[in-house]
Amino acid sequence: MPREIELLTEIRDLLQVMAEPELAKRDAKMRVALRDVVGSSNKKAKAVLLMDGTRSQAGIVKESGMDQGNLSRLMKALAVARLISADEKHPKLLVKVPSSFFDGGDTDE
């Protein structure tokens, strides 16, 4: 990776950390809805964090350890709550959350 891209990536990451408190305020309702849908399931949390639009459902199943049926039900609940994009093949979460957003979940539904 060229040095300029590395620097821009580092700047972006720093700005995201600095902006997180304001993003949390802006997205409060969506984040509450996201926590309600995911509950305390580690597998659901991992699956949701993998929904960045670059992975297929099969890829999310493989990386999260969740079975296809549970992922389908999770995606349906997220769609009803308007938390994911309409592209079912490559779901993308519509609210930005830090990777530590679900820390504290302790079940494996």
If DSSP codes are grouped into helix, strand and coil, which group holds residue 52?
Answer: strand
Please state the domain count of the chain: 1
Structural domain boundaries, residue 33: 28-80
At 49 the pLDDT is: 95
Q: What is d(CA 45, CA 100) in angstroms, rounded to the nearest whole number? A: 10
Residue that is written with structure tokens 């039900």 in the block:
73
In a domain, 42, yes or no: yes
| pLDDT of res. 75 | 95
24-76 pLDDT per residue, tens: 787 888 989 999 999 999 999 999 999 999 999 999 999 999 999 999 999 99
pLDDT digits (tens, 9 = 90+) for 74-106: 999 999 999 999 888 999 999 888 888 998 654
Residue 21 in any domain: the answer is no
Q: Is residue 32 part of a domain?
A: yes
Say if 49 falls within a structural domain. Answer: yes
In-domain check, residue 2: no
pTM for this model (two decimals): 0.72
